[in-house]
Chain A
Amino acid sequence: MNKTIQTPGVLAAAIAMAVLAGCASQETTAGTSAADKTMAAKVSKGPAPLAPLPAPPIPPDNQQTPEKIELGKLLFFDARIGGDASTGCSTCHEPDQGWAWAEDFSRGYPGTVHWRNSQTIINSAYFPRQFWAGSAASNEKQAKSAAKGGVAGNGEDDIMEARLALIPDYVQRFRKVFGTDWPHIGDVWKAIASFERTMVQRDTPLDKYLQGDKTALSEEAIRGKAVFEGKGGCIQCHNGALTSDQDYYNIGVPPNKRWEEDGLAQITFRFEQYAKGQTEENYRKAKSDWGFYYRSKNEWDKGKFRTAPLRYLKYTAPYMHNGVFYTLEEVVDFYDRGGFDEEGRTTLFTETKSPLIKPLGLTDQEKEDLVAFLESMSGPEIIIEKPKLPEYAPLFTKAELEAAQEAK
């Protein structure tokens, strides 16, 4: 890798990179190259400061139009986008449960339970990747994956498309928005993503404060901000406008005890090992969620999950990928202890636990202030009226069928 290079500029750069790489390897045991780069950035430049949320990014191949958004909203609430017409997007992303689900594990398709916490769709538009391990590369892909997943929507393309073709209002809307004769399943995901891109919250107390309104945060919250950016160290990962660096870490969350107590949860646990391509050896021994490992199959990625955004937190309890903490106070205590719950439990993968997680020594006042600050990242609760969904109608008349019978 190291060639001798004569040009001074390049040599300097090479030295700088070697120094940073050296720093990175001292800071962490290992990481993906993306994580190493981010770590290097943290060391040299510091994390991106908290900032107001800009307008959400819109992909060039799925531009927003009012009609597309309206169609996406209908589809988001329509359980006919799913297997047995009981489980649609809003079934696990309920508006009055923070557009998520208020249990540790999301509910699953009937007859199943999920194995991870349902995340809010609010502000999901800003994330280049979706899901706790980032396995979907867009909102469009997330919608498809969730609608079809065995313990989620359990839908199949054929039956979902067939249903849409028999709902005249949908046929008209898809024709108008996408120009197709009959609804295509791929356009369903586009429409849903388009609706999700309007579900953003840019006017939280924190946003207002960062835009210059110094009265927007309470004194408590302002003190909490100082903890967040200083002694608490939260900003190392929860940074930028998104309050997340989009990176993957093992922060020491212990396994969810539900797998020891709930037969239905045990079934899903084993299914997920199988579905995510574990070897037989690992399928037999896995006793917690291996997280990012399932995507990279690298040992050093075990137990890593994406930094969750902190916006809209007030409404999305419980917290963490497996929902083990029910209040923000529990979360703060967890971090304060250096990544241990109140029973002293931590991740099963102690070897990949991030060195950024260490006991903080926060006072009770600092903890309260920090929680107040965290809450300031949520604006008012976003509740919308569930739309009335369009109905089925027969495609043919009896007369048409009789004529076809005659023509046989």
Chain B
Amino acid sequence: MGVRVKTGHTILATALGLGLAFGAQAGKYPDLGPLPALKVNAAKAELGKRLFFDKRLSGDAGIACATCHVPENGFGSVKALSPGYPGNGHFRNAPSLINVAQKKVWNWDGRIGTNLNDMTREMITEDYIMNMDMRIMQERIKQDPKYLEMFKAAGMGEPSNGKVRKLIPEYLKTLTSRNAPFDTGKMSAAAKRGMKLFKGKAGCIQCHNGPLASDGKAHNTGVPENFDVFLDPMNHQAFLAFAMFQGIENYMNLKRDPGYYNVTLDKDDMGKFITPSLRELKYTAPYMHNGMLKTLDDVIAFYNKGGGKDSRKSKLLKPLNLSKKEQADLKAFLLSLSGDPLTSDKYVWKEPYPSEYPVIENWTQVKN
């Protein structure tokens, strides 16, 4: 493994050996690279887009998917903690939905590992999120002539809540990285140097690998708790409702986000969170599951000191001793993974929604 040199250079050899070993490790992770293209049905995606921005998909018609997943913010939340449903707050940052269709697990704690249909249902029906009885949602959609027309145009027939759960994921497939310098081969010199660090000295690639720059696995990096979750009863109630529903024991005494523990109920998994993708970071500040790291400088400084404080912290994290220049190069690389903002009407439904439901004429004679 090490380079053999004559005695007197053993220390150098060891250092070299370690360096090479580290570099050799980079080869054992799936490399960063372009994302596979997704096939999208245009008519269904257009319909899914109108649904995504429609507040009538929440119980009291107060919020839409886009209320927490804001296009200007990379389809995430601009504040540390996402807004919640009217009447409560929330306890985590809303993750970006750009490239969400490429993931294999969803939510910061990875509790959904099936598909976006299930994920969509969770978002719409959870009491502290959109609190929608989907039977009412279905009837609201049936009352809107524009939806009836769009469903027909997409070959979907009569609206139903099951179909909504297929259409929103189809729209989500359109939210992908566009023209990121990393993908178009237009990285700056600083970004290229940063990539070397990413795959080498900084060790990021150990978890941030593959085309998404995420291994889709859970790790504990020692991110400090966001006290606003527990000091603001509006947020805390959402956290408690979540913990109750997920069956986490002793929830009244929890002073930390259990993270992946929720999935495995293994104490060693307390405080682990799913590696997020590093694409589109330009738009998705603040960072981490609870938005505690405000800027990319903060993130790099966090890793440079070896992460935060947690007895269960991943052994992969250690102080990096990056120079100021190296930190700047790393940041340049991270930003090269961000493409164009997805704020045009190609991705955003900009037409107003009706403020009233029209009446179905001749109601006593027509079929429901």
| Interface residues of A, Cβ cutoff 8 Å to B | 80, 83-86, 109-112, 150-151, 154-156, 158-159, 161-163, 165-167, 181-182, 259-264, 266-271, 273-275, 283-287, 392-396, 398, 400-401, 404-406, 408
Q: How far is the CA of A80 from the CA of B62 in the complex (A)?
A: 17
| A residues less than 8 Å from B225 (CB atoms) | 401, 404-405
| Least CB distance, A169 to chain B, in whole angstroms | 13
Q: Are A263 and B364 in contact (CB under 8 A)?
A: no
Does B359 lie within 8 Å of A150, measured CB to CB?
A: no
In the complex, what residues of B have CB within 8 A of residue A109's CB? 59-60
Q: Can you give 8 contacting A-B residue pairs, CB < 8 Å?
A: A85-B86, A158-B245, A159-B238, A165-B240, A271-B133, A401-B227, A401-B255, A405-B255
B9 on the interface (CB 8 Å rule)?
no
- Across the interface, do B309 and A406 meet the contact criterion of CB distance under 8 Å? yes
Whether B356 contacts A394 by the Cβ 8 Å rule is no
User: Is A154's CB under 8 angstroms from B233's CB?
Assistant: no
Instruction: Using CB atoms, name the residue of chain B closest to A267.
Output: B139
Q: Are B364 and A260 in contact (CB under 8 A)?
A: yes
Asked whether B309 lies within 8 Å of A84 as measured between CB atoms, the reply is no
C-alpha spacing A266/B367, complex, angstroms: 12
Contact (Cβ within 8 A) A158 B241: yes
In the complex the two chains form, is B244's CB within 8 Å of A84's CB? no
Residues of B within 8 A of A (CB): 56, 59-62, 85-88, 127-128, 131, 133, 135-136, 138-140, 142-143, 222, 224-225, 227, 230-234, 236-242, 244-245, 252, 255-256, 271, 309-312, 356-360, 363-364, 367-368
For the complex, give the distance between the alpha carbons of A398 and B229 in Å. 11
Known A285-B368, A395-B230; contact A162-B135, beta-carbon cutoff 8 A: no
Question: Bound state CA distance, A408 and B220, in angstroms?
Answer: 11
Query: Which chain A positions have C-beta within 8 A of B135?
Result: 150, 271, 274-275
A85 to B127, CA, bound (A): 12
Chain A residue nearest in CB terms to B126: A156
Find chain A residues with CB under 8 A from B271 CB: 408
For B227, the chain A residues whose CB sits under 8 A away are 398, 401
Question: Ordered nearest first, which 4 A-B pairs have the shortest CB separation?
Answer: A263-B357, A111-B61, A85-B87, A156-B127
A156 proximity list for chain B (CB < 8 A) = 127, 131, 241
Q: Which residues of B contact A159 (CB under 8 A)?
A: 87-88, 127-128, 237-238, 241
Q: Return the contact of B357 from the options A163, A181, A264, A408 (Cβ within 8 A).
A: A264
Q: Which residues of A contact B240 (CB under 8 A)?
A: 158, 161-162, 165-166
Note all chain B residues with C-beta closer than 8 A to A398: 227, 231
Chain B residue nearest in CB terms to A395 = B236
Interchain CB contact under 8 A, B62 and A266:
no
- Please state if A110 and B60 are interface contacts (CB–CB under 8 Å): yes
Closest B residue to A396 by CB, please name it: B230
A274 to B86 Cα, complex, angstroms = 26
Could you tell me the distance in whole angstroms from the C-beta of A393 to the nearest C-beta in chain B? 7
Residues of chain B with a CB closer than 8 A to A392's CB: 233-234
The minimal Cβ–Cβ distance linking A399 to chain B, given in whole angstroms, is: 11
| Docked-complex contact B252 and A158, CB < 8 angstroms | no
Q: Which residue of B lies closest to A401 (CB)?
A: B227
Q: Do A261 and B86 touch (CB < 8 A)? A: no
A84 CA / B59 CA spacing, docked (Å): 9
Question: Complex Cα distance A151/B133, Å?
Answer: 9
Q: Is the CB of B359 within 8 A of A260?
A: yes
* Given A156-B241, A398-B227: A110 touches B61 (CB 8 Å cut-off): yes
- Asked whether B310 lies within 8 Å of A408 as measured between CB atoms, the reply is yes
Q: A110-B61, A156-B241, A262-B359 are in contact. Are A283 and B139 (CB under 8 A)?
A: no
Residues of chain B within 8 A (CB-CB) of A408 are 222, 256, 271, 309-312
CB-CB < 8 A to B87: which residues of A?
Answer: 80, 83-86, 159
Please indicate the chain A residues that have their CB under 8 angstroms from the CB of B61 in the complex. 110-111
Given contacts A259-B363, A267-B139, A396-B255, 19 further A-B contacts (CB under 8 A): A83-B60, A84-B85, A84-B131, A156-B241, A158-B244, A159-B238, A162-B241, A162-B244, A166-B240, A264-B356, A266-B363, A267-B142, A275-B135, A284-B367, A392-B234, A396-B231, A401-B225, A404-B225, A405-B225
CA distance A268 to B62 in the complex (A): 18
Chain B residue nearest to A400 in the complex (CB) = B255
**CB neighbours of A270 from chain B (8 A):** 139, 142, 368
Chain A residues within 8 Å of B363, by CB: 259-260, 266, 287
Q: What's the Cα separation between A398 and B231 when bound, in Å? A: 7
CB contacts (< 8 Å) of B245 on chain A: these are 158
Could you tell me if B309 and A405 are in contact, using CB atoms closer than 8 angstroms? Answer: yes
| Cα distance A270–B127 in the bound complex, in angstroms | 23
Chain A nearest CB from B238 CB (Å) reads 7
Q: Which residues of B contact A158 (CB under 8 A)?
A: 127-128, 240-242, 244-245
- A266 B59 Cβ-Cβ under 8 A: no
Q: A110-B60, A111-B61, A408-B311 are in contact. Are A267 and B143 (CB under 8 A)?
A: yes
Task: Return the contact of B364 from the options A154, A267, A287 (Cβ within 8 A).
Answer: A287
Query: Chain B's nearest CB lies how many Å from the CB of A161?
Result: 7
Select which of B140, B142, B244, B359 is within 8 A of A261 by beta carbon.
B359
Given A162-B240, A405-B224, is A394 in contact with B230 using a C-beta cutoff of 8 Å? Answer: yes
Chain A's closest residue to B254 (CB) is A404
Interchain nearest-CB distance for B291 vs A (Å):
16
Smallest CB separation, B315 vs chain A (Å): 16
Which among B133, B138, B236, B241 has the greatest number of chain A C-beta atoms within 10 A? B133
CA distance A310 to B60 in the complex (A): 34
Q: A111 and B357 in contact (CB under 8 A), knowing A151-B136, A401-B227, A408-B310? A: no
Query: Hey, which chain B residues are within 8 Å of A264, CB to CB?
Result: 356-357
A266 and B236 alpha carbons, distance in the complex (Å): 37
Selected contact of B127 from candidates A83, A260, A268, CB within 8 Å: A83
Residues of B within 8 A of A400 (CB): 255
Expressed in whole angstroms, the Cα–Cα distance for A150 and B127 within the complex equals 12
Residue of A nearest to B312 (CB): A408
* Minimum distance in angstroms from A86 CB to a CB of chain B: 7
- The chain A residue with its CB closest to the CB of B58 is A111
- Name the distance in Å between A193's Cβ and chain B's nearest Cβ: 23
Closest residue to B367 on the A side, CB-wise? A284
Q: A184: shortest Cβ distance to chain B, in Å?
A: 11
CA distance A158 to B243 in the complex (A): 9
A83-B241 contact in complex given A154-B59, A405-B309, C-beta closer than 8 Å: no
- Expressed in whole angstroms, the minimum distance between the Cβ of B270 and any Cβ of chain A is 9
Question: CB-CB < 8 A to A151: which residues of B?
Answer: 136
CB distance from B320 to the nearest CB of A (A): 22
B356 cross-chain contacts in A, Cβ below 8 A: 263-264
